[in-house]
Structure 1
Amino acid sequence: MTAKTTMTVRTAGVANARPRLRLFPWLAAGMLLAVLVLAPALGFFSLMGRDALSRAFSLTPFQLNAIRETGLLLAGVIVLAGSMGLVAAWLVAIYDFPGRRLLDVALVLPLAFPTYLAAFVAVDLFDFFGPVQTLWRWIIGAKTLNDYRFFETRSLPGAIGVLALVLFPYVYVSCRLVFAHSGRNVIDAARLLGARGFGLFFRIGVPLARPALTAGLVLVVLEAINDIGATEHLGVSSLSVVIRDLWLNRGDLPAAARMAGLLILVVALVMLANRQPASRRPGTARSTARPRKIKLDGPAAWFATFFTAMPVVLGFVVPTGFLIWRAIAYAGRQAQAAEFLGAAASTLLLAFSVSLIVMIAGALLTIAIRIAPKLAPAGRIATLGYAIPGTVLVLSIFPVLSASDHALAAVGSALALSGTLAGIVYALSVRFVGIGVGQAGLALRRLPPSIDWVARVHGMKDLRLALQVHFPAMLPGLMLGGTLVFIDTVKELPATLLMRPLNFETLATRAYAEASAGTFEHAALDSLAILALSGFAALMLSRGK
């Protein structure tokens, strides 16, 4: 009896020791990825200076104006984008009207337009020499600005309108899912009880969509905060623009870091606003029957068509048509084919490199969390990069790259990361790795844990389990995440603009340079190429679904 007990204790000790040794490579891989993502945070605090706390509230009038304009910009974009996305989702999901099926798909198209391209097109369209004002002067017989008044595009209201028209699909997509699926039973029950029209929308639809509306608006705010090209071109002194100005034009890194700290505080508040207690989260029950839509006739039907079509027309159709017209009209003045092809090749190289790294890192970290659940916090750390604005991330990464360069020089290596393509790839990988981890994790969670237990019972080791079971299960999620990263990288401007090596141009930086010089028409071909690449990837994404 004693010998049997001793044998049991020894067996248990060996069984407990083996998992620790088995988990060590996965724990090490997960911790290494988390450290690479957290490294910019250390660089950020090193830039703030020792007197950061004492000078945190000693802001100049210039910086206070940036805070005010950023607050007004976010408030306006939230109201306008939230209203357009919520009402469009309600009309498309609940009612039947002319053109509804086409508009259901078309309402997502404005997302293909980067915010900076939309701003460049808006200025060219509505400027004094643009086609809109030229036509208006011809109609009223005016010749100078003193003869009439016209809306100023380069203004805070102009920036609010441009950003809202491009970003409202985030709200539309999230709210439409609620109205069409998980909340359909509640809406149908309210209709049976006599709720109609505006009462059905305000008393049932709005409360039902509040969590989805909040989630969509969080993405809208993060995109608006991250923007630098559109706000700068439209004359708005946002925090991102001021950070770039303090850093590059005034050489005041500590002040730029303190302003970046304020921007991170805004992001943290936005993320906290999106957190909901589990007891208040909406249920996931879906309507099993095919829902019948309310048929609209007469003026109501045409109003619904007009309201849902206008954001698509203003946010995608008109800008795309304008770019095509500019590309044809100025075909002889476009940049040389070699320069355009070089920028396109650089964009593809950067997009494919970042997508591949994000997919590999997402796969490793997701499998490591699956095998060693204690690494779950590392997965949450990886998602922080996407919430940090690109300007702040670049500012934080420079000390990390500088330290790496000094370390390489100390060991006698001539390699350097600062001012190279590797530095941009690292920055964008840190920013987008959360997308890969999130999508891979969602796909892998569909695989029951019992599958892992059965595989281990049959003698399957961790590496074989990861390659033959986990990887095929999360491959669709990895492909989805990689495609999303590809689209974001093609459209990305702040990090590429601030970190690019000499003579390294992407389609986005070329379009920005031409717009800054007042010759955006010369970059119409580059802009169309950005739209084509993003649209093709989005088409592949929709076909993959």
Structure 2
Amino acid sequence: MQDFYKRIIQPLGQDRYSAWTMLVMAIAVLISLPVLTVLSGIFRDTGAIWQHLAATVLATYITNSLGLMVGVGLGVVLIGTGTAWLVTMCRFPGRWMFEWGLLLPLAAPAYILAYTYTELLEFYGPVQTSLRGWFGWQSVQDYWFPDIRSLWGAIALLTLTLYPYVYLLVRTAFLSQSASTLEACRMLGCGPWQSFLIVALPLARPAIMAGLSLALMETLNDYGTVQYFAVDTFTTGIYRTWFGMGEQQAASQLSAFLLLFILALVLLERGARGQAQYYQTAPHRQPLAAYSLRGWRAIAAQLACFLPIGLGLLFPGAILLQMTLENWSQTFNEEFWGFAYNSLLLALLTAGIAVAIALLMAYGLRLQPNLGMRLATQVAAMGYAVPGSVIAVGILVPVGGLDNAIDAWMRSTWGISSGLLLSGTIAALVFAYLVRFLAVSFSTIDASLTKIKPSLDDAARSLGHSPLSTLVRIHAPLMGRGLLTAVTLGFCGCDEGITRHPHYSPL
């Protein structure tokens, strides 16, 4: 306990930025409250329930979750990084359309794609029905067809919807890289592949890892896709234990185990990075010299960029559009426009607040990167890996307790009831989304800050600037692309999260 105080608590009050540090710590503790509520359940006795889970399904949850993480991780890194390099450093017909088009699949929930592709590729779907008609097959014994409702199907659909996290962050990193660095690489005889592998890719590592961590947390949090495909993961196990078996404590322990798993991965990557730094030592205002692609290379680049968009949005979107037009009067009713307004309001409000909080936390971590600050910010950003219903309970318990305490005080003091001041308003919902999606903004902004040399902070301090003035007048302009990316990802994430669960309606 004494060692914990010396390493974490004591440094917080001794640094030169104590006020800023304590503000960041207070915000981190507030955002972490639902996560800490879930983590506290790991120490409670659940009797034979946990032993039953460990003996029957826990190994399956771990195996399937690891399989999803490995498959989706490889997929999003390959697609996101590859397409980001193509549209940033190569010139080919249609490139300007792919620059923004590759972001569009982020707006398509994976479970919607699961429903669509299942209807297309199942035994009763039009694809297999047409094959049987063309070749005269009678049953599944006459031919082989891949099963979409499997672990590999879930990996494919989650990859198609989550690769934009990596694409957007890595493209921002490529655009921010110094043109002189790449030109020096070319002058030394490096070709396009060598420039990419030796220079550009290592410099983009923070952005790649930030996008990858977001995609993996979203993968572990997904419920609709894996539940529909009958792939048992930690998330389905949490829902099943909580709502099926009625064991809230055991479900909280599964959530805590999942959170510790995520925290271990983050710390492992930080440790593997070691003392490596990724600062840009030259200005990047000079336009990047692009590679001109012609012939079959241009066609290959177009195909590589079109396939993720086509499979992740255009093809299933066309099917959904057809279904929408066939049921126009039932779809675009008054209730639909109410849902659309609520979704837009919540997404805009939450995205703006999340970026502001993430900027304060990331800059506070930059000012005082001790163990306490790192731990606080990482725990605050772990809500992205927690199922939405678990976060809801983690919020309703303390917020409901605060509402009841205020109501009891008002009754005893003034003889009136205050009702539900927090848990019955939009404030609790916005707070839930902040807990859920803060990691999106924090990872993006933190990746942008790592590319700014600390010497700029020292120069600002020597000229008499305060930390806030340094952040507003120096760092924020240099992080323009990163801030815009954080707002975009936060808005898309919040808007998608509103309909993440297949049985959930906004507000």
* Pairwise TM-score range, normalised by the shorter structure: 0.7 to 0.9
Structure 2 equivalent of residue 525 of structure 1: none
What SS does structure 1 have at the residue aligned with 2:419? coil
Most deviating of 416-425 and 159-168: 416-425
Give the alignment of 1:62-141 within 5 angstroms: 62-141=57-136
The answer (yes or no) to whether the contact 2:35–2:379 under 8 Å persists in 1 is no
Range moving further from structure 2, 129-138 or 476-485: 476-485
The structure-2 alpha-carbon separation of the partners of 1:278 and 1:419, relative to structure 1 and needing over 3 Å to count, comes to same
Equivalent pair of 1:34/1:381 in contact (CA under 8 Å): yes
CA distance in 1, matches of 2:490, 2:33: 21
In the superposition, the TM-score normalised over structure 2's length comes to: 0.74
Q: Which amino acid aligns with 2:435?
A: V
Larger Cα Rg: Structure 1 or Structure 2?
1
Q: Which residue of 1 aligns with 2:414?
A: none
Can you give the 5+ residue segments of structure 1 that lack an aligned partner in the other structure? 1-19, 510-545
Aligned residue-pair number: 475
1:154-199 per-residue CA deviation (whole Å, 9 max, x = no partner) reads 1111111111112223333344455565376565555555555766
User: Aligned AA for 1:343?
Assistant: F
d(CA) in 1 for partners of 2:445 and 2:76?
29
- 1:247-306 deviation per Cα after TM superposition (whole angstroms, max 9, x unaligned): 112111121112112211221122124326564223414564641415443x33322322
**Are residues 375 and 189 of structure 1, via their aligned partners in 2, closer, same or farther at CA, if it must alter by over 3 Å?**
closer
1:50 to 24, 44, 48: 44
Q: Is the 8 A contact 2:173 2:204 kept in 1?
A: yes
Closer/same/farther in 2, CA of residues 60 and 317 from structure 1, 3 Å limit: same
* Farther-moved stretch of structure 1 (342-351 vs 193-202): 193-202
- Cα distance change, pair 474–182 in 1 and its aligned pair in 2 (3 A): closer
Deviation at 1:67, TM superposition (A): 1.1
- Residue number among 251, 254, 258 corresponding to 1:259 in the alignment: 254
Quick one: distance in 2 between partners of 1:495 and 1:111? Answer: 12
Q: Give the corresponding residue for 1:156.
A: 151
Which of 237, 262, 271 is the equivalent residue of 2:266? 271
Q: Please, which of 280, 284, 287 is the counterpart of residue 284 of structure 1? A: 280
Q: Secondary structure at the match of 2:54?
A: coil
Contact kept, 8 Å, 2:169 with 2:485, in 1: the verdict is: no
Q: 1:489 aligns with which of 480, 494, 504?
A: 494
TM-score by length of 1: 0.70
How far apart, in 2, do the equivalents of 1:164 and 1:60 lie? 31
- Any gaps of 5 or more consecutive residues in structure 2? 1-13, 412-416
8 A contact 1:37–1:382 mirrored in 2:
no
Q: Give the superposition deviation at 1:311.
A: 1.4
Would you say the 8 A contact 1:178–1:184 is kept in 2? no
Where does residue 34 of structure 2 map in the other structure?
40
Conserved in 2, the CA contact under 8 Å of 1:379 and 1:437? no
Kept in 1: contact 2:38–2:252 (CA 8 A): yes
1:407 counterpart residue number: 405
Q: Hey, what's the Cα distance between the residues in 2 that align with 1:148 and 1:111?
A: 35
Percent same amino acid at aligned positions? 27
Q: What whole-Å deviation, never above 9, does each CA across 1:455-478 have from its counterpart, x for those lacking one?
A: 99xxx9x99x99x989x9899788
User: Residue 6 of structure 2 corresponds to which residue in structure 1?
Assistant: none
Classify the secondary structure of the residue corresponding to 2:57.
helix
Asked if residue 351 in structure 1 is aligned to residue 317 in structure 2, the reply is no
Distance 1:82 1:359 in 2: 24
1:325 maps to amino acid: Q
In structure 1, the partner of 2:303 is 306
Structure 1 residues 50-83: Cα deviation after superposition (integer angstroms, max 9, x where no partner): 3379997871322221111111111111222222
Closer, same or farther in 2 for the Cα pair 1:35/1:154, shift >3 Å? Answer: same
1:518: which partner in 2? none
SS in 2 for 1:128: coil
Distance 1:178 1:405, change over 3 A: closer
Could you list the per-position Cα deviations for residues 231-250 of structure 1 after superposition, in whole angstroms to 9, with x for gaps in the alignment? 22222212112111111121
The alpha carbon displacement at 1:44 in A equals 1.8
Q: 1:346 and 1:156, CA in 2 relative to 1: closer, same or farther beyond 3 A?
A: same
Offset from partner CA, 1:284-333 (integer Å, 9 cap, x none) = 14564641415443x3332232223211211122122222122112325x
Output aligned runs, 1:378-397, within 5 Å. Answer: 381=376, 384-388=379-383, 389-391=385-387, 392-397=390-395
RMSD across aligned C-alpha pairs, in angstroms?
A: 4.8
